[in-house]
Chain A
Amino acid sequence: MKTLTGISRGLSCAASAVLLFCGLADLAIGQSWKPTKTVEFIVPAGTGGGADQMARLADAIIKKHKLMAGNMVVINKGGGAGAEGFLDVKNAKGDPHKIIITLSNLFTTPLATGVPFNWRDLTPVAMLALDQFVLWVNAESPYRNAKEYIEAAKKAGPGKFKMAGTGARQEDQIITVALEKQGSIKFTYVPFKGGGEVAVQLVGKHVDSTVNNPIEAVAHWRSGKLRPLCVFDNERLVYKNKVTDKQSWNDIPTCKEAGVDMDYLMLRGVFTVPGAPPSAITFYIDLFNKVRATPEWKEFMAQGAFNQTFMTGDAYQAWVAKEELRHLRLMKEAGFLAPGGK
Chain B
Amino acid sequence: MLIINCPYCGPRDQSEFSNGGEAHVKRPDGSKEIGDREWGEYVFIRANPKGLFYERWVHTHGCRKWFNCVRDTSTDEILVTYKLDEKKPNLNDFKSVVKTPSGEPEVGSGNFTVEK
**Do A and B actually bind?**
no
- Name B's A-contacting residues (CB within 8 A): none
- Name A's B-contacting residues (CB within 8 A): none
